[in-house]
Amino acid sequence: MQIHAIEADPIRKQSLDKSFQCFATAIIFERRFAVYQLRLRVLTYLGIVTPAVVGITYVTYGDESTLTLCFVALAGILGTIQLIVSLWAVVARWDEELEYSEESSLENRRLSLIFDTHARMPEVSGAEATVLVGNANRDLESLEARDRLKSVSDGEKRYGYRAALFEKDLVCKCCDKTPSSIEKPSDCKTCGCYRLLPLFTPIGALR
Ligand SMILES: [Zn+2]
């Protein structure tokens, strides 16, 4: 169905807007998922590799070797850092954040697809559309309530909005431009003005 036909139908237009909104939210939680996954993997890796390297060095060179003493000293520093970060990971519940981010991104993707299908497919109409959209609206309401508890920052919202504009090749309502990149945000107060830090650092879009 053509975009002007969708916009002429208020119900389909509403579904198209919701599809966009769900897609943007999915992108935000996908980014969070990647960040928490990487952090937890690094912590697990350090927990295995540090004692393993010290053990191999000890067996190979003995406990009097300078190399062994250097590795033990280094392992002590790494172990302390790992312990501090691991404790923070427990307190900040990184594993729960990882799990929720995955669940929310998948659910938002699913709802985005349903709303998009309803908006664009002429054959989805009448009673079928009422059931489809009714169920999706209920799911979305519940999901939004849970997502709100996750404190999505303004920067993240702009990041998600820009990513959705980019993916769907749409024009920003504020700067009237289609984003050419997500990695390099513009100065637009609606689809830019965020700082995409390297993946291990805080949740993507800040400032
Ligand atoms: Zn803009």
| Tens of pLDDT, residues 146-189 | 999 999 999 999 999 999 999 999 999 999 999 999 888 899 99
CA of 206 to the centre of ligand 1 (A): 16
pLDDT for position 207: 46
Ligand 1 centre and the CA of 189: distance in Å? 7
Ranges under pLDDT 50 in the chain: 203, 206-207
Q: Which residues contact 1 (CB under 8 A, 6 or more apart)?
A: 12, 119, 120, 121, 122
Confidence at residue 82, expressed as pLDDT on a 0 to 100 scale: 92
58 contacts: CB under 8 Å, gap ≥ 6? 68
Taking the centre of ligand 1 as the mean of its atom positions, its distance from the CA of residue 167, in whole angstroms, is 14
Ligand 1 centroid – CA 179 distance (Å): 8
Ligand 1 center to 162 CA (angstroms) = 8
Distance 125 CA to ligand 1 centre (A): 34
Long-range contacts of 145-148 (CB under 8 A, 24+ apart): 146/100, 146/104, 147/25, 147/29, 147/104
- How far does the centroid of ligand 1 lie from the alpha carbon of residue 172, in Å? 5
Gap from CA of 19 to ligand 1 centroid (Å): 19
Residues lining ion ligand 1 (Cβ < 5 A) are 172, 174-175, 188, 190-191
CA distances from 41 to 22, 27, 34, 206 (A): 28, 21, 11, 23
**Distance of CA 6 from the midpoint of ligand 1 (Å):** 23
| pLDDT for res 11 | 86
Residue 108 confidence (pLDDT) = 98
Ligand 1 center–CA 151 separation, angstroms: 23
Q: How far is the CA of 100 from the centre of ligand 1 (A)?
A: 29
Predicted TM-score (pTM) of the model is 0.87
